[in-house]
Amino acid sequence: MTMVEAEAGKEAIRRALRSLRRRHLVEEGAHCPAIEALARPFAAQAVEWKEKAEKHELELQQCYKAQSRLSEQLVTEIEEGKASKALLKEKETLITTMQTELEQTREENTQLKQSLEEKTSALDLLIQEHQAVKAELEQALTKQKVAEDENRNLIDRWMLEKMKDAERLNEANAMYEEMVLKLKSAGVGGIQHNALQEADGIIRRSEAGYMDIMETPIPSTCRITIRAHDGGCGSIIFQHNTDKLISGGQDQTVKIWSAHTGALTSTLQGCLGSVNDLAVTNDNKFVIAACSSNKLFVWEVNGGRPRHTLTGHTKNVSSVDASWVKSCVLASSSNDHTIKIWDLQSGFCKSTIMSGSNANSLAFIDGDTLCSGHRDGHLRLWDIRSAKCTSQTFAHLDVSSVSVSRNRNFILTSGKDNVHNLFDPRTMEVCGKFKAMGNRVVSSWGRPCISPDENSIAAGANDGSVYIWSRLKKDGVPTILQGHSSSVVSSAWCGLGPLATADKHHIYIWT
């Protein structure tokens, strides 16, 4: 109820009260003569009636006042009733809205319940499928384990057969040499010469990159001793067709020495981390160092200016080699299970080869073929154009080093089984096996080498000795060089004759 309606009600009540008073006065005036006439006979009772009249008039006034109060209360009650009625309507509207929302909520609840039941059924189905797939996986793993055991047994049997074949080949070679000696003693000297030419591979002499090298003498005397690096020497290598010896060590430097005088000619700075391996491009313009800081560093030989820092490996870089054919192509291996091919012109990685086993060492065979020795004991050949393994063979329990001969006729591998194997890269078969009682390979860092004429193999040992085997002699007795005071970690044979070997503290030049 609005204020205007309330005021109108109050005004109506006031008009009604005024009308009652006027009516009372009119009635009182109309009856006055009758009252006076009646009063005369009753003069005696005038006082009593007057008192009663006053009393009645007083009561009438009180009734009027009570009526006025009741009227006001009535107006108030009416207003409150109207307000309550409006509030009731609001509540009824709210109840209606809430009932509608409740119905919607019930419908949504029903839908959600149905969806939950469907998803529960789907989950039960997925659990059943998962259990079935898990059972199939367990069966597949069991079959895989059985297959791996069978493959391992087959590999062991195959290696045993290969070893037997190698022993038979050695026996045949021994018989051949004995026959040649007999023919020579009988005066037929030309036959031995022709046979040796055929055994060395006369066809290979027409291949690209072949170098006719004079026979390399077996060294016997330490001519120069060099204190190379603080903390130890990690790797040594000769420049191609020069007497410049390059060494890298724990002091984070690469140094270039004269193998003729032992003098230091240059120091290459800027390497971060210990040097694990070294390489030189085929044009002798750049030196590359593989480091423990997960990087490779490239310097210009003339001037010693840093050229590139090759980043991409995520763990220790264990080995590096430069292509013998393409001067701008490098390969590196790391403990992150990768072999990376680099472009020296741009300083970027051209491709990445993933391997299931870390490669401890690698070397180029030709422009597009790479060999690597792995911790799982395998020697693998890779085509760097397709980044795929083209051939593999079991070489050792753990291949610690791989090197390729100067004319790329042989691959020399060393392993933690303290054996050095010569492989023919064309057939991947063992064509020579070298070992000695005291020759123990220096962990994963021993780097043996092949002489320039491919007839001798030099390998450092844990006791500080250097063992040199002749490939042509079948007695297997090595020449032993003494002089190192600690384990021999690396060796390199110069194309001009000298042999360099390095231990933790010194580099020895042997002639």
Q: Is residue 412 a contact partner of residue 431, using CB atoms and an 8 Å limit?
A: no
Whether 181 has a pLDDT exceeding 90, the answer reads: no
Band (pLDDT 50/70/90 cuts) for residue 445 is low
Task: Look up the pTM and report it.
Answer: 0.60
C-alpha to C-alpha distance for 332 and 277, rounded to whole angstroms: 10
Residue 213: per-residue pLDDT:
59
pLDDT digits (tens, 9 = 90+) for 57-105: 888 888 888 888 888 888 888 889 899 999 999 999 999 999 999 999 9
What the block records as the tokens of 292 is 């423990």
Q: Is residue 290 a contact partner of residue 319, using CB atoms and an 8 Å limit?
A: yes
Partnered with residue 467 across adjacent β-strands are 459, 480
Band (pLDDT 50/70/90 cuts) for residue 194 is very low
Question: Of 216, 177, 170, 210, whose CA–CA distance to 195 is shortest?
Answer: 177
Letter for the amino acid at 360?
N
pLDDT digits (tens, 9 = 90+) for 427-439: 889 988 888 887 7
pLDDT digits (tens, 9 = 90+) for 265-305: 999 988 888 999 999 998 999 999 999 999 999 999 988 89
Residue 256: per-residue pLDDT:
94
% of the chain exceeding 90 in pLDDT = 35
C-alpha to C-alpha distance for 417 and 428, rounded to whole angstroms: 19
Q: Is residue 296 a contact partner of residue 279, using CB atoms and an 8 Å limit?
A: no
